[in-house]
Amino acid sequence: QVQVIESGGGLVQAGGSLRLSCEASGRTFGSYTMGWFRQSPGKEREFVAAISRNGDTGYADSVKGRFTISRDNPKSMVYLQMNSLKPEDTAVYYCARTRITYFSQSRYTRPTLYDLWGQGTQVTVSS
């Protein structure tokens, strides 16, 4: 069964760093765009970052310059390096897969276009 599993969340002080990992099963991992989303209580799930099969990346304005998404196709892994964390970054972070074939902001930011989601990992940033 194809699935994605996130890890690496935790509690960190403001200004600190965390690295999230996402392991995706399936032989065709390298063919898909992968994304990170987050959701905090009472809010809708929001886009954080995405990476195409070729390594092109896109970020939400709120994390640009602080977060970096990367992937290792042979290992079927996606990473989210989060630096200079702020309390407003506190959320459950989800890794997801999309079948979009054209890497455009209007597509990779839309959670409805992602068809496979992980269970999420909690990130808490204390002030």
Q: Is the pLDDT of residue 29 over 90?
A: no
Q: What percent of the chain has pLDDT above 70?
A: 100
Q: Is the pLDDT of residue 103 over 90?
A: yes
Quote the CA–CA distance of 38 and 25 in Å, as a whole number. Answer: 21
Handedness of CA 34, 109, 98, 21 (dihedral sign): positive
Give residue-wise pLDDT tens across range 31-88.
899 999 999 999 999 999 999 999 999 999 999 999 999 999 999 999 999 999 999 9
